[in-house]
A and B are shown apart, each in its own frame.
Chain A
Amino acid sequence: MSELLRIEHLSKSFGRKQVLKDLSLSVESGRVYGLLGRNGEGKTTLARILMGVIPADGGVITFKGRRIGFGQSAYKREFGYVPEDPFFYEDMTIRGLVNFNARFYPRWDRKRIAADLERFGLDPKSRFGTLSRGQKLKLGLAVALAAAPEFLILDDPTSGLDVPTRQDFLRDVIRELAASGTTVLFATHLVHELERIVERLLVLHGGRLIVDEDFDKVKARHQASLEDIFVRLTAEA
């Protein structure tokens, strides 16, 4: 498999708190990476640095051999990002925000988003502010997928949702994986979601990746559920 993304010696502090310390990672294309960490361990900070929303203090990130990060935008056409709270303007209609997003993505798939909106039961005339949290999330995913991303970052998208909605969301991600072989970085603190789809396990603790290993191997070694493994590893470290 080929390397899609490489992170070398990434660091980031907020004031005196160092959130990421010398973090390095190689992401191969077509795999699902599960990024686990307790709240406040820097999962979102990493996602935001990757999306160029905030700058890193140090380190180098390359995507398909090109350096990326804060202040650059071209690469973002190939990234999909579903944050914990997908944000669009409250008064914008779904149709309006879909058309708005379409302009930024050369590979934007109109048919696909129309089909997804229908499947998700989202009326294009609804205003964003009137949607439930689950609907906002599905809209966020539909918008991210319509751009046909090579790399999809899911930043704790399912926290605070009920089980059926979380399962629906996972099914949609799975359909995407099966159809397009998209590379996924799935950050979460809810280990149950991950256990079913993760191929490579990353555990962020104390600003470092204390685990970067194939999930099968981690599981075979610990002979336990991911929840138990996670608790054990973050207690030891």
Chain B
Amino acid sequence: MIRVDATSYVPIYEQIKRGIVRLVATRRLKVGEPLPSIRDLAAEIIVNPNTVARAYRELEQDGVVSTQKGRGSFIAERARPDAERELRGHLGRAMDETIAEARKFDLDDGAILEIFETRLRRAGGRKKGGRNE
């Protein structure tokens, strides 16, 4: 469910946070759904439990997760809009980089859009709200 690349320079707790936010934004984790216990997730993805605890703690501060004493952590009510906003921001920044790259080669908007649409089609089309075709 969550993958961690320990050799990446992105800190592991940050990777866990992003992974959970992505799962919420793509509706694979739904509001009210429980997260695995710190111990279980740590053992599954082989990371220090303190690192998982830190990710959960920060997700709680961000309002993505709510923790109830003795019951564990759950996806919070307001997590979805937040997660979606974060995902959009993340994708937006990636696209900004692509656009900047394209500008270096003097590509106009039409050419950029054309490349983008070709790549989208090649990746398999997907209609609004639907799954992979």
Contact = CB atoms under 8 A, between A and B. Distances in A.
Q: Do A and B come from one complex?
A: yes
Interface of A: 31-32, 167, 170-171, 174-175, 177-179, 192, 195-199, 216, 219-220, 222-227
A200 B17 CA distance: 21
A173 to B, nearest CB: 10
The B contact surface, by secondary structure, is: loop
Contact of A196 (B6, B9, B38, B39): B6
Contact of A198 (B7, B8, B48): B48
Contacts of B49: 174, 177-178
Given A199-B48, A199-B50, A174 B42 contact: yes
B31 interface: no
B1 interface: no
Interface string B7-45: 111011000000000000000000000000011001100
Interface residues of B, number: 16
A175 B46 contact: no
Contacts of A32: 48, 50
A157 to B, nearest CB: 15
29 contacts: A32-B48, A167-B46, A170-B46, A171-B46, A174-B42, A174-B46, A174-B47, A175-B39, A175-B43, A177-B42, A177-B49, A178-B39, A178-B43, A179-B39, A192-B6, A195-B7, A196-B6, A196-B46, A196-B47, A197-B48, A199-B48, A199-B50, A219-B11, A220-B11, A222-B9, A223-B9, A225-B8, A225-B9, A226-B7
A165 B11 CA distance: 25
Interface of B: 4, 6-9, 11-12, 38-39, 42-43, 46-50
Contacts, number: 57
Given A196-B48, A224-B9, 7 more contacts: A171-B46, A174-B46, A175-B43, A177-B50, A178-B39, A178-B43, A197-B46
A195 B50 contact: no
A178 B7 contact: no
Contacts of B48: 32, 174, 177, 196-199
Nearest to B39: A178
Given A178-B42, A179-B39, A197 B47 contact: yes
